[in-house]
Structures are given as C-alpha cells and as structure tokens.
Amino acid sequence: MPIVVIANPKGGVGKSTLSTQVAGYYASRGHAVMLGDADRQQSSRLWLSLRPPTAAPIVGWDMVDGAPGAGKVAKLPKGVTHVVLDTPAGFTGARLKDALAHASKLIVPLQASVFDIFATRAFLDEIKALAPRNLQMGVVGMRVHARTLAAEHLREFVESLGLPLLACLRETQNYVHLAAQGLTLFDVTPGRVEKDLAQWTELCRWLDA
C-alpha cells in the first residue's frame, strides 16, 4: 500500500496544498484514499470538510491518541489502498521516525528561496539517518517561477543531494480557488487547469511507480 508522507520542517511551504492534491490525484484514479493531518492547524481536515459529495471520496485519518499532531500513525482500517499524510512544521525526532517507518514515499515541498533551502538541508540530513533504505524520496518545488535564478539554484541544490526534483509547481490562484471548494486539479475539467496538470506529469508517474 502506498503511504505518502509530505514533510518539511518549515511552515508555509505548501505542505497542505501538496497533500490534498496528491490525495485528489489518487482518488481520481479510483483508489480508496485516506488523508491524514498531523498538523495542529488541521488544514487538510478542513479541506476534507469542504469537499463536495460529488467529488471522488477521500476519508480522514485520525492519530492514535486523538490529539492532532501528537499521536503516532494509526492502524489503517480495511479497504484503504492509498494513504497521504500531511505533517506540521517542526515535524522531527520520534514523530518523524515513526512516520518514516510506515512510509513508502516521502515528498519534501520546497520553495526556491535561500532561507527555505538552508532550513531544509538539516532536515534532509536527519531523514537520511532515520529513513528505511527502501523509502522513495523526492522534492517538489513550490511556487517556482521558471527560468529564474532562484529556480536554477533550487535545481542545483536538489541535484547536489542526489534526489529527484519531481516537479516545479507554479504560483497560481487555481490551487487557492480549488482548495476553498475542497477540490483539486484532478476534480475539474482538464482544460481549466491545463498548464498546471502539465507540471504534474512526472510527479504522477512517480506516485504510481
């Protein structure tokens, strides 16, 4: 069963946006998807509450002790085939180790700024020490303006880590407007979000692999 963890120790990098979109992609493929939210802000859980009944179903995932952001990974109910876990800022130590022990894939969302890059470097070093050998890892550039010096620095940084840059997602109001309706790129007519779907092509292949 694919269990995809979305993590970065820095806040405001787009973890919830990426988590909901990944869950939406899997749901659009007909999978039984569970979206977990370990962040105290519970952004993904709020998004789920906004999701219309006509959209492909995605269910929520509670932590073992019932305290948002505090519990260990819960045992999955029967029937779930794909899991996505949205994590909070500062998600390190024992909680990170527990999540990685269950994960099959880890995505690190990263913005193309020097502050985000340096903050993420130590986190990636921690992951290398904690992660199982079979964990698949990749980086997704968030709010990246193509053909800029910052974008090039992001590519060079990811390459230096020996990790794949799975996608560079542009800054667009499409994500904002869809999130307000509990929807994703994969829930609407493709022509409405054609440019954005094109940026997901390689990332979707990686998710399905």
What is the model's pLDDT at position 120?
Answer: 86
- Residues of the chain with pLDDT > 90: what percent? 58
62-101 pLDDT, tens digit per residue, is 654 444 444 455 566 678 999 999 988 888 788 888 888 8
Task: State the residue range of the domain holding 152.
Answer: 3-65+76-208
N- to C-terminal Cα separation, the chain:
12
- Residues of the chain with pLDDT > 70: what percent? 92
What is the model's pLDDT at position 66?
Answer: 44
Rounded to whole angstroms, the Cα distance separating 86 from 181 reads 19
95-125 pLDDT, tens digit per residue, is 888 888 889 999 999 998 888 888 888 888 8
- Cα dihedral across residues 117, 16, 170, 23: positive or negative: positive
Q: Is the pTM of this model over 0.95?
A: no
Q: Is residue 71 part of a domain?
A: no
Place 6 in a pLDDT band, splitting at 50, 70 and 90.
Answer: very high
Q: Is residue 157 part of a domain?
A: yes
Q: Is residue 200 part of a domain?
A: yes
The CATH number given to whatever domain includes residue 120 is 3.40.50.300
Q: Is residue 70 part of a domain?
A: no
**Count of domains forming the chain:** 1
List the Cα angle 156/162/164 in 5-degree steps.
80
Q: Is residue 189 part of a domain?
A: yes
Q: Is residue 101 part of a domain?
A: yes
Q: Is residue 188 part of a domain?
A: yes
